A and B are shown apart, each in its own frame.
Chain A
Amino acid sequence: MSRELTDVLHDRALMALRSHLRAERYHASMGHFEAGDPVTHAGYEGRLLAMEWVGAISAEEVASWRQRLHEAASWREPPREPPARAVRERAIAHLEERIAPLSPSMRDGFVACIGAIVAYEQTGVLMAEEALAWRERLRARIDMEPERPPRCSRRDLVRVLPGPPERIRGLRVTTVELYADGVVVRWHDAQRRPDASGTPRIWSDTDRQTAGHGDPYLGGLSDDLGTRYIGGGGPDLGINGGWKVRFGSSSFTPAFPNGARRLTVAYEGSDFEIEL
């Protein structure tokens, strides 16, 4: 076996073992398995034996990883120690420096900034809510929609508007509900989509299982006053096995403002217009 192949096998084995270690810690922290479960241990032994057998890891590494996997089975998240003041100040200065050059037309450093925020959050330099605030600030800086958009509470219903009668590629807006803190657009999708062979078919169980990824996306909401709506909370589908259609709703914030007269719902390159 060539030296190069041995190195590649070794690296892949380490990646696989680290992945197992993460999984074991996760299961332990969630209380999924009991530490010392003989079947789980037999699984460790199978993995380690196979890796050693083909020369991916040494006998010493097997012993070390066996120990680590066993310890991971009873892992608990370490307590959070507040960072030293100087560490925190340096971290915040680093983030400020990283974020400063970013703008809607200069997004190149976005991923690196996220990497820095994640590092500070996971090592305990930033609390989870502080890290979220940094991510939101970063997204706002490059004009990206917030990670946690405000949600329409659907509590104070002000008015219900019937949607227009037309359909766009099978989709019809049935009603628009105006709430004190947002807008909910309800839709009915009677589009028949072809399967891989191009044959029209009805919605199936598979559609239902993958619905989370295949929702009819409304392209966005706008009004005649230029309000900038943000979609928050995806469509809640009412689909079911054997149905030929789907229906659901999409919610937006903020509320429809006083004085506005027209709402426009974008869908697949066309618009539904709803007049008050």
Chain B
Amino acid sequence: MSERLELFLEDHVDDHAGHDYAAAIEALLAAGILSMERAESWKAEHARLSASRHHFQGPYDEELEARAVELLEALFAPVRPLASDEWDPAVFQRYQEALSALRVIGALSLERARPWLELQHATLTPPGGRPEPEPEPEMPFAAGELSAVLAGPAGRLDGMRVTSLELYGDCVIVRFHQLLPPEPADPVERRELVSSPFELEDEAGTPYRPALVPEPRGCRRREPKGWPEALVGWQAFVPGVPLDARTLTVGWRERRWLTSIG
């Protein structure tokens, strides 16, 4: 316990975790694992550090800043650009951490540090500049205008229940709730159970197609982690349902669910 106690006392003395340090010290005293003398010593340290925290934005001492800059000049002199053959990560790291420490302890203002930060940035910039970020992937639908929400049929087939259909101007979202059987040993059967796509059709013959979202958090059906008892998810189709359609049929494997549009 003694190592844990020492770690706790030192780790929390600067309030980094936002706990009540005085109450913690009192509790350790009450349990009899901390002496009164050491409790007083740590409380004094805590009080002193708390006072220092309030001066984080300066004031800055000119003479001290000049001295800090002198050190940065010396440490930056051997730094070479990342793109060059002479790049040495240790040399760069020593300079970068020194600059960071000078800022953190309040020996260097942001104004005096700025040119050094710019130099640091330039050192890490590849020749020809940084590449433009990839454009946002184009979405196959907007799902902005919600015209109706249809409750799915109450029946469950092969563990699958269609819970609702959301009809948007440019897509249909089929929501489902699937109760899974015990995990099959056969990986093909396993994949079929959790990854079989839905199909959608109406009596007007609209050519619905699954709309995969080019992003991991979207509606792409992914295999679950582990083997849950129930899977809840959704799948989108484009285009939206035409105004004259009266029924929608959702298909999944060999099963079909018919839903009337109000």
Contacts and interface: CB of A to CB of B under 8 A. Distances in A.
A116 B26 CA distance: 8
Contacts of A9: 105-107
Interface in B176-234: 177, 179, 213, 215, 217-219, 229-230, 232, 234
Given A42-B91, A78-B3, A22 B11 contact: yes
Most buried by B among A1, A53, A188: A53
A118 interface: yes
A83 interface: yes
14 contacts: A1-B63, A9-B105, A44-B97, A50-B71, A51-B101, A54-B102, A78-B4, A80-B4, A94-B27, A112-B22, A115-B20, A119-B23, A153-B230, A174-B164
B31 A120 contact: yes
A54 B90 contact: no
Q: How large is the interface on B (under 10, 10 to 19, 20 to 34, 35 or more residues)?
A: 35 or more
B137 interface: yes
Contacts of B144: 190, 243-245
Nearest to A78: B3
A155 B4 CA distance: 42
Interface in B46-104: 48-49, 52-53, 55-56, 61, 63-64, 67-68, 71, 75, 89-91, 93-102, 104
Contact of A46 (B17, B19, B101, B139): B101
A13 interface: yes
Contacts of A87: 31-33
Interface of B: 1, 3-5, 7-8, 10-11, 13-14, 16-17, 19-28, 30-33, 48-49, 52-53, 55-56, 61, 63-64, 67-68, 71, 75, 89-91, 93-102, 104-107, 136-139, 142-146, 149-152, 154, 161, 163-164, 166, 175, 177, 179, 213, 215, 217-219, 229-230, 232, 234
Contacts of A188: 143, 146, 166
Contacts of A186: 164, 175
Given A11-B52, A13-B105, A238 B219 contact: yes
Nearest to B5: A123
A36 B109 CA distance: 32
A227 B61 CA distance: 62
A172 B96 CA distance: 50
B25 to A, nearest CB: 8
B247 to A, nearest CB: 17
Contacts of A225: none
A54 B96 contact: no
Interface stretch (A139-147, A160-168, A264-272): A160-168
Nearest to B6: A123
B152 A160 contact: yes
A86 B104 CA distance: 43
